[in-house]
């Protein structure tokens, strides 16, 4: 997935380590003030979950998110991110209930 400028593969731990270094550099800048909200510790794999969760909460269809993640079957995505799907269903129910109340008023 990651290569050097001349096309050779980068050792996987190099990129994983870089994520931690970037977070530390943001949280403790050499010049200027520290951020008011420091970033929490995160692994490279956490960024994958953030990406998928953000897309699902934004309403991107599950089959599209599954394709972006490389899942062979959207059922895999549904199982892994069931909590996000359930949250969307609850939100949809709230929106519907509000619409019914407004229509009845």
- Provide the 10 A C-beta neighbour count for residue 101: 9
Task: Specify the 3-state DSSP secondary structure of 89.
Answer: helix
pLDDT digits (tens, 9 = 90+) for 73-105: 999 999 999 888 777 777 888 888 889 999 988
Q: In this structure, what are the phi and psi dihedrals at residue 9, rounded to the nearest 5 degrees? A: -65, 145
Using a 10 angstrom Cβ sphere, with 0-12 exposed, 13-18 middle and 19 or more buried, the burial of residue 88 is middle
pLDDT for 29-80, tens place per residue?
Answer: 999 899 999 999 888 888 899 999 999 988 899 999 999 999 999 999 999 9
């Amino acid at each position: 997935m990651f290569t050097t400028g001349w096309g050779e593969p980068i050792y996987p731990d190099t990129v994983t380590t870089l994520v931690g270094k970037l977070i530390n550099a943001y949280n403790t800048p050499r010049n200027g003030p520290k951020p008011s909200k420091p970033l929490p510790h995160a692994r490279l794999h956490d960024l994958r979950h953030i990406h998928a969760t953000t897309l699902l909460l934004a309403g991107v269809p599950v089959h599209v998110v599954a394709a972006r993640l490389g899942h062979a079957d959207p059922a895999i995505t549904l199982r892994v991110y069931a909590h996000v799907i359930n949250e969307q269903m609850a939100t949809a129910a709230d929106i519907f209930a509000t619409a019914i109340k407004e229509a009845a008023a």
